[in-house]
Amino acid sequence: MVIGFVSRKPLSQQRQIQKQNNETNKNNWESNKAKLKDAKDIHDIVAVQGYKIREHVVTTRDGYLLVIHKLENPNISTNIHHNNVNSSKIIYFHHGLLTNSELFVLGSTKSKTLPYLLVDLGFEVWLGNNRGNKYSRKHLKLSASDPKFWDFSLDEFAYYDIPDSLTYIKNYYETCLANPIDPQIVYIGFSQGCSQLFASLSLYPHLNNQLRMFIGLSPAIIPQNLNHPVFKLLVSQTANDNSFLYSLFGRRAILPSVAFWSSIMGPTLYEKVVDVSLQLLFGWKGENISRSQKEIGYPHMFSNSSVKSLLHWFQIIKARRFQMFDETCTYGITKLSSFNKKSRSKGNRVAPFPIADHLSVPMVLFYGDNDILVDMNKIQNLVVDNNHKMKDKLEIVLCPGYEHMDTLWGENVYQDVFGPIIEKLEKLQVPTAIDDETLTGNSDGKITNSSSRENLTWNRIQDKDYVLEYK
């Protein structure tokens, strides 16, 4: 019998090694944090963590060019032309108002960055962008300096941007795979990214059949009013007369100088300005988001959109109704049609987004009880109460104490949100092949594949290799 003994270093030597490791971790973290803060675009951001982005351009039916991003892990070999990609596990992320695709890859650790986790587990991950933001400020005929370029709201996001982006991805897999399957996409939206899908499904009911599941993070459909009395007055005045907000901000982009002010103020002051602004507008305290997360996320948080898109939300808040844009203008020789509120309401009923009648996709909605932008009772009423097809397809997950941004950046977001999402995605059944051949799968609905990406386990998500943040 051979008995082995573990050789232990003296305690003082162990402490010295631990101290050196801590210093190395701290230096690495500070270096990576600086790279993330100074990153100029999503390519730089994901490169810090060892990933890469492939860019695709979607041309919408009304001529806007949207750049959407496909996230990849260079250490996981995929080649769509050799049919070794998994088109049964396609995830599409869509951002909220005044943001862009970067929003989803700004977690301070890998375990707080859902796209990274999904890519490492073999999912095909796409990140969308709205017209007018940092990555999609191009049109076939219109210049971004032309007010006509910025003449869009939630109507155009829903009518063009979402369905055209989903169609592009669907065609990508149907035309490039040697043995293509019918690609059904899992849509993950944050804030307005949820309302855009709801609106699109109400306008194009056939899109329900192209989605395997909808996962909503902080779904803003009919928000409650803003927190501060001055802003409440602004919402009320703007909703009654569109020209009021246009007189303040013009008819083009809102927040066009945010990058300038971020650089001028410096990270510390800018972080304070953002925190104060969010508290005044929405009553958010940001207590569930760490300082390090704010240092990384805030410099990249905002992106341009149109003044009209913000105005549209003010109208929805005031009307307490998920509706299309209201022009609030006269449409006759005289102004009698809009002389007062009563004559306007009797003469014109703004068209709704009729989501109560046209939803059939399974959905899971995560929200916090400290988020005034999410009225879950109203959402549940719209989705379920008048639609028998959704009775057993809606799951609502309350995250106690969460505010709006916490479903992306909260300290416990993996345990409360991302972990449950990954478990649900693993349980989805594999769609059948287009040529009626069934892909090989096991009893849990996982595709059998000998590649390393399919052998990854959920336990790896908790590994130290996934922790970037210095503690």
Catalytically active residues are: 191, 371, 404
Torsion of CA 399, 103, 266, 37, to 10 degrees: 110
CA contacts within 13 A on the Cβ side of 396? 18
Strand pairing category for 124-127 and 185-190 = unpaired
DSSP label at residue 32: H
User: Which tokens hold the place of 339?
Assistant: 């002389």
Contact 337, 330 (CB under 8 A): yes
For 247, phi then psi, to 5°, come to -70, -25
What are residue 125's DSSP bridge partners? Answer: 71, 91
What are residue 254's DSSP bridge partners? Answer: 305
> Rounded to an integer, what distance in angstroms lies between the CA atom of residue 385 and that of residue 42?
41
> Rounded to an integer, what distance in angstroms lies between the CA atom of residue 267 and that of residue 295?
7
Residue in this structure with the two tokens 């902080």, named with its chain if needed: 218
Contact 439, 447 (CB under 8 A): yes
User: Which tokens hold the place of 169?
Assistant: 């991805």
Beta strands in 250-389 (DSSP E): 253-254, 305-306, 363-368
Query: DSSP alpha helices (H): ranges in 241-334?
Result: 242-249, 258-282, 291-297, 307-319
DSSP, residue by residue, 125-161: EEE---TTSTT---BSS--TTSTTTT---HHHIIIII
The Cβ of residue 427 has, within 10 Å, a number of other Cβ atoms equal to 10
> Rounded to an integer, what distance in angstroms lies between the CA atom of residue 249 and that of residue 359?
36
| Backbone φ/ψ region at 266: left (φ over 0), alpha (ψ -120 to 50), beta | left
Which among 365, 90, 363 is positioned nearest to 214, based on CA atoms? 363
DSSP, collapsed to helix, strand or coil, labels residue 366 as strand
